[in-house]
Amino acid sequence: MLFFSLRRSKIQHLREQLNTRLTARIRRMLVLLFMLAGAHTLTISWLEGMSLGDALWLTATTLTTVGYGDISASTAGGRLATVAFLYLAGIFVLAQLAGDFIDLRIQHRERKMRGQWDWKMKEHIVLVNAPANDTISYLHRLLIELRKVPTFADMPVVLISDQFENGLPDKLLKLGMVHVHGNAQDNHALADASAQHAAYILLLAQNAFMDSSDLLTFDLLDRFASNQYPATIACEFVRDENRERFKRLGASSVMRALRAHPEMLVRSLVTPGSEQLLENLFTQDGVHIVRVDISISDHSWKSICGKLLEVGIGTPLAYVSNDDQVISQPPFEEIVNAKGLLLLQDSACDVDKNCLEGIF
């Protein structure tokens, strides 16, 4: 990683030198062009007896090769000045200036495409790391979920990753993602992504199946805390014992690395703490969802919820209608005819159909 960081710094330094030289040359050419235009304007005004406005108009139309012909030099001295100041020098300088400006724009576009650009953003989202497998699909789904949230609908997203050296695919660019090619442990990469000015930082585990990924997460969280990054931080962990450690380092949401469900990462940003509940739903430990098949007729959803909470055997989430449709959180006054219930229940609670028969 040190070699990668040094190599990236050297390449970035060389590019910055090239960019600085090109910018300086454009400025010199621009100053020279204005000097030539000014000298020609004053000379034509003197030799041709024109007003400064007419002389400037002649200079501009000649220099830009528009040549309306409504005003022209008529004296030998005026024509000679036009040839000297504009035809031989001015047009050449203008062409050189245009060429250098185009080269600079191409260079900037190339650097942006390759992730070598200092984005200078504020109030944006920084996404650190990208999955090694199924990368584009995961990032695409993550972006789609982000764009569904009003807060994140138009917020720029900067990815820091050592992938995509040749540029992000169009499907990610169209959803407002740009990238910095590098490793987040490189301060240059963090600075290019403007992580210190981000509103949100999503810190993915470098590898969802390797415990060593937590070392990188720990290092970055410690760095963010030391530098007092103001961002709301959501991160992933691999080892269970690191959940609380990451929270102590300032992460508002800490969740297990679940590559199949990027929407959970988004939900943890919107509702910190929900990630713990969502994780439990995928296990048989702690709180999870159970289905109890029981026939219920002509009861309001409010009465069903009240009776279940009163006896303390689970929190009702939805019912299964007689035509096998799962109806989640219906209106309280809705009359329910169901063949089953979905309950949020602790693993220590053992509820079956017989527990509910005497209630309904």
Summarised one tens digit per residue, pLDDT across range 16-67 is 677 778 888 889 999 999 999 999 999 999 999 999 999 999 999 988 888 7
Amino acid at 20: T
Residues ≥6 apart with Cβ < 8 Å to 252: 232, 233, 234, 272
Q: Which residues, listed in sequence order, are joined to residue 288 by a DSSP beta bridge?
A: 345
Share of the chain above pLDDT 90, in %: 55
**What is Dmax (Cα atoms) for the chain?**
114
Torsion of CA 169, 175, 176, 178, to 10 degrees: -20
Residues ≥6 apart with Cβ < 8 Å to 213: 205, 206, 207, 238, 257
pTM above 0.75, yes or no: no
Q: Are 158 and 121 in contact (CB under 8 A)?
A: yes
pLDDT at residue 15, rounded to an integer? 63
* Sequential DSSP letters for 65-80: T----SS---SHHHHH
Distance CA 351, CA 356 (A): 8
Q: Which of 331, 356, 77 is nearest to 341 (CA)?
A: 356
Our separate counts of H helices and E strands in the chain read 13, 11
pLDDT, averaged across the chain: 87
Q: Which of 130, 107, 120 is nearest to 193 (CA)?
A: 120
pLDDT at residue 284, rounded to an integer? 62
Q: Give the tokens for residue 154.
A: 């138009």
Tell me whether residue 109 is exposed, middle or buried, using C-beta atoms within 10 angstroms of its C-beta: 0 to 12, 13 to 18, 19 or more: exposed
Q: Is 53 helix (H, G, I), strand (E, B) or coil?
A: helix
Residue 161 has pLDDT above 50, yes or no: yes
- Residue 118 CA from chain centroid, whole number: 14
- Distance between first and last Cα of the chain: 64
Residue 288 has pLDDT above 90, yes or no: no
Query: How many C-beta neighbours within 10 Å does residue 27 have?
Result: 12
- Residue 127 CA from chain centroid, whole number: 7
Q: Is 333 helix (H, G, I), strand (E, B) or coil?
A: coil
Residue 3 has pLDDT above 50, yes or no: no
Q: Give the tokens for residue 116.
A: 């070598």
